Amino acid sequence: MVGLSGGVDSSAAAALLVEQGHEVVGGYMKNWINEEGLPGDCPWERDLEDAHAVAKALGIEFRVVELIDQYRERIVDYLLEGYRDGVTPNPDVMCNREMKFGVFLDYALEQGFEAVGTGHYARRRMRKDGAADLLRGADPNKDQSYFLAMMTQYQVKNALFPAGEMLKPEVREVARRFNLSTAEKKDSQGICFIGNIKMSDFLRHHVPDSPGEIVDLDGKVMGRHDGLHLYTLGQRKGHGVASPRAGMAYVVVGKNAEANQLIVGWDEPSTSGLYAEKCTVGSLSWINEAVTGGRAEVQPRYRAKSEAVEVTEIEGGKLELTFTRAQRALTPGQICAFYEGGKLLGGGVFEKIG
Protein backbone atom coordinates (compact mmCIF):
# COMPACT_ATOMS: atom_id res chain seq x y z
CA MET A 1 0.00 0.00 0.00
CA VAL A 2 1.36 3.39 -1.02
CA GLY A 3 0.43 6.48 0.98
CA LEU A 4 -0.77 8.81 -1.77
CA SER A 5 -0.85 12.36 -0.41
CA GLY A 6 -1.70 14.10 -3.66
CA GLY A 7 1.88 15.31 -4.13
CA VAL A 8 4.44 14.47 -6.79
CA ASP A 9 6.78 12.48 -4.50
CA SER A 10 4.21 9.91 -3.38
CA SER A 11 2.81 9.78 -6.93
CA ALA A 12 6.22 8.93 -8.35
CA ALA A 13 6.80 6.40 -5.55
CA ALA A 14 3.60 4.57 -6.53
CA ALA A 15 4.57 4.64 -10.21
CA LEU A 16 8.03 3.25 -9.46
CA LEU A 17 6.63 0.41 -7.36
CA VAL A 18 4.17 -0.49 -10.13
CA GLU A 19 7.03 -0.43 -12.62
CA GLN A 20 9.09 -2.70 -10.36
CA GLY A 21 6.33 -5.30 -10.55
CA HIS A 22 4.67 -4.86 -7.15
CA GLU A 23 0.93 -5.23 -6.74
CA VAL A 24 0.13 -1.71 -5.54
CA VAL A 25 -2.91 -0.11 -3.92
CA GLY A 26 -3.04 3.63 -3.23
CA GLY A 27 -4.26 4.83 0.14
CA TYR A 28 -5.10 8.44 1.01
CA MET A 29 -4.80 9.10 4.74
CA LYS A 30 -7.72 11.34 5.67
CA ASN A 31 -6.30 12.88 8.83
CA TRP A 32 -7.72 16.35 9.02
CA ILE A 33 -10.69 18.46 7.98
CA ASN A 34 -10.31 22.17 8.60
CA GLU A 35 -12.21 23.21 11.72
CA GLU A 36 -14.81 25.95 11.57
CA GLY A 37 -13.26 29.32 12.34
CA LEU A 38 -9.68 28.18 11.82
CA PRO A 39 -7.88 30.46 9.33
CA GLY A 40 -5.68 29.14 6.55
CA ASP A 41 -5.97 26.74 3.67
CA CYS A 42 -6.45 23.03 4.33
CA PRO A 43 -6.52 21.65 0.78
CA TRP A 44 -7.40 18.06 1.64
CA GLU A 45 -10.23 17.87 -0.91
CA ARG A 46 -7.92 18.97 -3.72
CA ASP A 47 -5.19 16.60 -2.53
CA LEU A 48 -7.71 13.74 -2.39
CA GLU A 49 -8.77 14.44 -5.97
CA ASP A 50 -5.14 14.53 -7.12
CA ALA A 51 -4.32 11.28 -5.31
CA HIS A 52 -7.37 9.60 -6.86
CA ALA A 53 -6.36 10.85 -10.32
CA VAL A 54 -2.87 9.38 -9.89
CA ALA A 55 -4.27 5.99 -8.89
CA LYS A 56 -6.59 6.04 -11.90
CA ALA A 57 -3.72 6.94 -14.25
CA LEU A 58 -1.64 4.06 -12.85
CA GLY A 59 -4.56 1.65 -13.02
CA ILE A 60 -4.41 0.76 -9.33
CA GLU A 61 -7.06 0.45 -6.64
CA PHE A 62 -7.58 3.56 -4.51
CA ARG A 63 -8.81 3.74 -0.91
CA VAL A 64 -9.54 6.57 1.51
CA VAL A 65 -8.38 5.55 5.00
CA GLU A 66 -10.21 7.54 7.70
CA LEU A 67 -7.80 8.36 10.51
CA ILE A 68 -9.16 11.67 11.80
CA ASP A 69 -9.73 10.51 15.39
CA GLN A 70 -6.29 8.87 15.65
CA TYR A 71 -4.63 11.97 14.19
CA ARG A 72 -6.28 14.25 16.72
CA GLU A 73 -5.31 11.94 19.57
CA ARG A 74 -1.74 11.19 18.51
CA ILE A 75 -0.64 14.38 16.75
CA VAL A 76 -2.88 17.36 17.51
CA ASP A 77 -3.12 16.60 21.24
CA TYR A 78 0.66 16.00 21.37
CA LEU A 79 1.24 19.31 19.60
CA LEU A 80 -1.03 21.35 21.86
CA GLU A 81 0.16 19.68 25.05
CA GLY A 82 3.76 20.47 24.14
CA TYR A 83 3.09 24.15 23.55
CA ARG A 84 1.05 24.39 26.75
CA ASP A 85 4.02 22.89 28.61
CA GLY A 86 6.36 25.50 27.15
CA VAL A 87 8.27 23.28 24.68
CA THR A 88 8.31 23.26 20.89
CA PRO A 89 7.10 19.86 19.61
CA ASN A 90 7.80 18.40 16.16
CA PRO A 91 4.52 17.12 14.67
CA ASP A 92 6.11 16.07 11.36
CA VAL A 93 8.46 13.59 13.04
CA MET A 94 5.68 12.21 15.22
CA CYS A 95 3.31 12.03 12.26
CA ASN A 96 5.70 9.63 10.55
CA ARG A 97 6.09 7.44 13.63
CA GLU A 98 2.50 7.50 14.89
CA MET A 99 0.49 7.85 11.68
CA LYS A 100 2.18 6.87 8.40
CA PHE A 101 4.20 4.06 9.95
CA GLY A 102 1.90 3.67 12.95
CA VAL A 103 -1.85 3.32 12.44
CA PHE A 104 -1.62 3.44 8.62
CA LEU A 105 1.01 0.68 8.58
CA ASP A 106 -1.05 -1.35 11.04
CA TYR A 107 -4.07 -0.99 8.77
CA ALA A 108 -2.06 -2.05 5.71
CA LEU A 109 -0.61 -5.14 7.39
CA GLU A 110 -4.02 -6.15 8.74
CA GLN A 111 -5.37 -5.88 5.19
CA GLY A 112 -2.70 -8.29 3.94
CA PHE A 113 -0.20 -5.85 2.43
CA GLU A 114 3.50 -6.60 2.84
CA ALA A 115 4.73 -3.01 3.24
CA VAL A 116 3.85 0.68 3.11
CA GLY A 117 5.49 2.83 0.46
CA THR A 118 5.83 6.61 0.76
CA GLY A 119 7.46 9.46 -1.15
CA HIS A 120 10.07 10.20 1.53
CA TYR A 121 13.59 11.06 0.41
CA ALA A 122 15.28 8.31 2.42
CA ARG A 123 16.67 4.85 1.58
CA ARG A 124 16.18 1.46 3.18
CA ARG A 125 18.85 -1.21 3.00
CA MET A 126 18.31 -4.79 4.18
CA ARG A 127 21.18 -6.49 6.00
CA LYS A 128 22.23 -10.09 5.56
CA ASP A 129 20.99 -10.77 9.09
CA GLY A 130 17.47 -9.67 8.10
CA ALA A 131 17.56 -6.30 9.86
CA ALA A 132 16.98 -3.03 7.99
CA ASP A 133 19.10 0.13 7.94
CA LEU A 134 17.76 3.57 7.07
CA LEU A 135 20.03 5.84 5.03
CA ARG A 136 19.93 9.46 3.98
CA GLY A 137 18.17 10.14 0.68
CA ALA A 138 20.24 10.22 -2.50
CA ASP A 139 19.36 13.91 -3.00
CA PRO A 140 21.26 15.88 -0.32
CA ASN A 141 19.00 18.88 -0.88
CA LYS A 142 15.82 16.88 -0.22
CA ASP A 143 16.98 14.28 2.33
CA GLN A 144 14.13 13.65 4.80
CA SER A 145 15.71 10.97 6.98
CA TYR A 146 15.72 13.44 9.89
CA PHE A 147 11.91 13.25 9.96
CA LEU A 148 12.15 9.45 10.33
CA ALA A 149 14.48 9.59 13.34
CA MET A 150 11.91 8.24 15.83
CA MET A 151 11.00 5.16 13.78
CA THR A 152 11.60 1.63 15.04
CA GLN A 153 13.25 -1.35 13.35
CA TYR A 154 9.82 -2.92 12.85
CA GLN A 155 8.58 0.18 11.04
CA VAL A 156 11.66 0.52 8.84
CA LYS A 157 11.52 -3.16 7.81
CA ASN A 158 7.96 -2.63 6.60
CA ALA A 159 8.66 0.60 4.69
CA LEU A 160 9.66 1.29 1.08
CA PHE A 161 11.08 4.63 -0.15
CA PRO A 162 11.57 4.38 -3.93
CA ALA A 163 11.79 8.17 -4.43
CA GLY A 164 14.68 8.32 -1.97
CA GLU A 165 16.95 6.63 -4.48
CA MET A 166 16.60 9.59 -6.87
CA LEU A 167 17.18 13.32 -7.19
CA LYS A 168 14.12 15.58 -7.10
CA PRO A 169 14.26 16.43 -10.84
CA GLU A 170 14.37 12.69 -11.59
CA VAL A 171 11.30 12.14 -9.42
CA ARG A 172 9.36 14.77 -11.38
CA GLU A 173 10.54 13.14 -14.61
CA VAL A 174 9.08 9.82 -13.44
CA ALA A 175 5.73 11.55 -12.87
CA ARG A 176 5.91 13.09 -16.35
CA ARG A 177 6.81 9.74 -17.91
CA PHE A 178 3.67 8.21 -16.41
CA ASN A 179 1.59 11.27 -17.40
CA LEU A 180 0.60 11.95 -13.80
CA SER A 181 -1.31 15.14 -13.10
CA THR A 182 0.89 15.92 -10.10
CA ALA A 183 4.13 16.11 -12.11
CA GLU A 184 4.38 19.91 -11.88
CA LYS A 185 2.54 20.35 -8.56
CA LYS A 186 4.38 22.50 -6.04
CA ASP A 187 5.63 20.93 -2.84
CA SER A 188 3.22 21.40 0.06
CA GLN A 189 4.03 23.45 3.14
CA GLY A 190 2.46 23.51 6.59
CA ILE A 191 1.87 21.32 9.62
CA CYS A 192 2.05 17.71 8.49
CA PHE A 193 -1.42 17.05 7.05
CA ILE A 194 -3.13 20.11 8.52
CA GLY A 195 -2.26 22.24 5.51
CA ASN A 196 -1.14 25.79 4.81
CA ILE A 197 -1.94 27.19 8.23
CA LYS A 198 0.34 29.42 10.27
CA MET A 199 1.34 27.73 13.51
CA SER A 200 0.47 30.89 15.44
CA ASP A 201 -3.07 30.90 13.99
CA PHE A 202 -3.50 27.22 14.76
CA LEU A 203 -2.33 27.68 18.35
CA ARG A 204 -4.51 30.74 18.91
CA HIS A 205 -7.51 28.68 17.83
CA HIS A 206 -6.82 26.08 20.54
CA VAL A 207 -4.77 27.77 23.28
CA PRO A 208 -6.03 31.04 24.86
CA ASP A 209 -3.68 34.02 24.71
CA SER A 210 -1.87 34.74 27.96
CA PRO A 211 -0.22 38.18 27.58
CA GLY A 212 2.84 39.14 29.56
CA GLU A 213 6.04 41.16 29.53
CA ILE A 214 8.93 40.87 27.13
CA VAL A 215 12.17 41.59 29.01
CA ASP A 216 15.85 41.68 28.18
CA LEU A 217 18.54 39.77 30.04
CA ASP A 218 18.78 42.60 32.59
CA GLY A 219 15.05 42.45 33.30
CA LYS A 220 14.22 45.67 31.44
CA VAL A 221 10.71 45.59 29.97
CA MET A 222 10.94 45.76 26.17
CA GLY A 223 7.33 45.10 25.20
CA ARG A 224 4.40 42.72 25.55
CA HIS A 225 3.84 39.21 24.27
CA ASP A 226 0.53 37.42 23.57
CA GLY A 227 1.48 34.08 25.15
CA LEU A 228 4.73 32.17 25.68
CA HIS A 229 3.46 29.27 23.56
CA LEU A 230 3.53 31.50 20.46
CA TYR A 231 7.32 31.93 20.53
CA THR A 232 10.31 29.65 20.20
CA LEU A 233 13.99 29.94 21.14
CA GLY A 234 16.10 31.68 18.52
CA GLN A 235 13.09 33.44 16.95
CA ARG A 236 14.23 36.67 15.25
CA LYS A 237 10.97 38.00 13.85
CA GLY A 238 7.43 38.35 15.07
CA HIS A 239 8.19 39.15 18.72
CA GLY A 240 7.62 42.88 18.22
CA VAL A 241 10.87 44.18 19.77
CA ALA A 242 12.59 46.45 17.28
CA SER A 243 16.36 46.77 17.19
CA PRO A 244 17.80 50.24 17.94
CA ARG A 245 20.97 49.35 16.06
CA ALA A 246 21.36 48.65 12.35
CA GLY A 247 22.63 45.18 11.60
CA MET A 248 21.60 43.82 15.00
CA ALA A 249 18.44 41.98 16.01
CA TYR A 250 16.75 40.83 19.18
CA VAL A 251 15.95 37.13 19.39
CA VAL A 252 14.10 34.98 21.90
CA VAL A 253 16.65 33.49 24.31
CA GLY A 254 14.41 32.17 27.08
CA LYS A 255 11.05 31.93 28.80
CA ASN A 256 10.25 32.55 32.47
CA ALA A 257 7.03 30.56 32.82
CA GLU A 258 6.57 31.47 36.49
CA ALA A 259 6.60 35.20 35.74
CA ASN A 260 5.07 34.72 32.27
CA GLN A 261 7.96 36.64 30.75
CA LEU A 262 9.52 36.24 27.33
CA ILE A 263 13.27 36.94 27.39
CA VAL A 264 15.08 38.48 24.44
CA GLY A 265 18.74 39.24 23.77
CA TRP A 266 21.09 40.16 20.95
CA ASP A 267 21.55 37.60 18.18
CA GLU A 268 25.24 36.97 18.79
CA PRO A 269 27.33 34.09 20.20
CA SER A 270 28.08 35.90 23.48
CA THR A 271 24.38 36.25 24.39
CA SER A 272 23.48 34.15 27.44
CA GLY A 273 21.00 31.38 26.70
CA LEU A 274 21.22 31.57 22.91
CA TYR A 275 24.15 29.18 22.40
CA ALA A 276 24.79 25.97 24.31
CA GLU A 277 27.42 23.23 24.30
CA LYS A 278 25.51 20.71 26.44
CA CYS A 279 22.04 19.23 26.39
CA THR A 280 20.03 16.25 27.61
CA VAL A 281 18.13 14.03 25.17
CA GLY A 282 15.39 11.63 26.26
CA SER A 283 12.53 9.54 24.79
CA LEU A 284 15.16 7.73 22.75
CA SER A 285 14.30 5.47 19.83
CA TRP A 286 16.83 3.33 17.93
CA ILE A 287 16.51 1.61 14.55
CA ASN A 288 19.30 -0.85 15.27
CA GLU A 289 22.30 -0.31 17.56
CA ALA A 290 21.72 2.11 20.44
CA VAL A 291 24.15 4.93 21.17
CA THR A 292 25.11 4.79 24.85
CA GLY A 293 28.43 6.62 25.03
CA GLY A 294 31.56 7.82 23.28
CA ARG A 295 31.66 9.93 20.14
CA ALA A 296 28.64 10.34 17.91
CA GLU A 297 27.26 12.44 15.08
CA VAL A 298 23.94 14.26 15.48
CA GLN A 299 21.66 16.54 13.49
CA PRO A 300 19.92 18.95 15.88
CA ARG A 301 17.29 20.20 13.42
CA TYR A 302 16.12 19.70 9.84
CA ARG A 303 18.60 21.03 7.27
CA ALA A 304 21.24 21.58 9.95
CA LYS A 305 24.73 20.20 9.42
CA SER A 306 25.76 17.11 11.32
CA GLU A 307 27.64 17.91 14.50
CA ALA A 308 30.17 15.89 16.50
CA VAL A 309 29.25 15.24 20.13
CA GLU A 310 30.55 13.37 23.14
CA VAL A 311 27.81 11.13 24.56
CA THR A 312 27.37 10.17 28.20
CA GLU A 313 24.55 7.94 29.44
CA ILE A 314 22.88 9.42 32.52
CA GLU A 315 20.13 8.47 34.95
CA GLY A 316 16.78 7.46 33.47
CA GLY A 317 18.26 6.11 30.24
CA LYS A 318 18.79 9.62 28.89
CA LEU A 319 21.88 10.89 27.09
CA GLU A 320 23.93 13.98 27.84
CA LEU A 321 25.50 15.45 24.72
CA THR A 322 28.53 17.74 24.68
CA PHE A 323 28.97 19.46 21.33
CA THR A 324 32.38 20.14 19.81
CA ARG A 325 31.16 23.64 19.04
CA ALA A 326 28.36 25.61 20.69
CA GLN A 327 24.95 25.28 19.01
CA ARG A 328 22.46 28.08 18.43
CA ALA A 329 18.94 27.83 19.83
CA LEU A 330 18.72 24.17 20.81
CA THR A 331 15.06 23.86 21.71
CA PRO A 332 13.31 21.57 24.23
CA GLY A 333 10.72 19.41 22.51
CA GLN A 334 12.52 19.30 19.19
CA ILE A 335 14.17 16.18 17.74
CA CYS A 336 17.86 15.24 17.81
CA ALA A 337 18.74 12.69 15.11
CA PHE A 338 21.76 10.39 15.49
CA TYR A 339 23.80 9.33 12.45
CA GLU A 340 26.80 7.24 11.53
CA GLY A 341 27.93 8.72 8.25
CA GLY A 342 24.90 8.46 5.97
CA LYS A 343 23.10 5.94 8.19
CA LEU A 344 20.34 7.07 10.55
CA LEU A 345 20.72 5.39 13.94
CA GLY A 346 17.68 6.85 15.68
CA GLY A 347 16.64 9.91 17.60
CA GLY A 348 15.39 11.49 20.77
CA VAL A 349 13.80 14.62 22.20
CA PHE A 350 15.74 17.59 23.57
CA GLU A 351 14.74 17.88 27.22
CA LYS A 352 17.27 20.16 28.91
CA ILE A 353 19.60 22.70 27.32
CA GLY A 354 22.86 23.72 28.98
**Which residue, among 110, 111, 123, has the nearest Cα to 159 in the 3D structure?**
123
Quote the DSSP letter at residue 185. P
Q: What distance in Å separates the CA atoms of residue 116 and residue 27, rounded to the nearest whole number?
A: 10
Letter for the amino acid at 321? L
Half-sphere exposure of 217 (CA within 13 A, CB side): 12
The residues near 117 (Cβ < 8 Å, ≥ 6 apart) are 1, 2, 3, 13, 14, 17, 24, 159, 160, 161, 162
Any idea which residues carry the catalytic annotation?
A: 95, 192
The residues near 130 (Cβ < 8 Å, ≥ 6 apart) are none
CB 22 within 8 A of CB 13: no
Bridge partners of residue 237, in order along the sequence: none
Computed from CA positions of residues 320, 325, 326, 329, in that sequence, does the dihedral angle turn out positive or negative?
negative
Contacts 24+ apart (CB under 8 A), 214-219: 214/239, 214/240, 214/241, 214/261, 214/262, 214/263, 214/264, 215/256, 215/261, 215/262, 215/263, 215/264, 216/250, 216/263, 216/264, 216/265, 217/253, 217/263, 217/265, 217/271, 217/272, 217/273
CB 68 within 8 A of CB 33: yes
Q: What distance in Å separates the CA atoms of residue 105 and residue 112, rounded to the nearest whole number?
A: 11
- Residue ranges in 63-193 assigned as alpha helix (H): 68-71, 77-84, 91-95, 104-110, 153-157, 168-177
Q: What distance in Å separates the CA atoms of residue 208 and residue 202, rounded to the nearest whole number?
A: 11
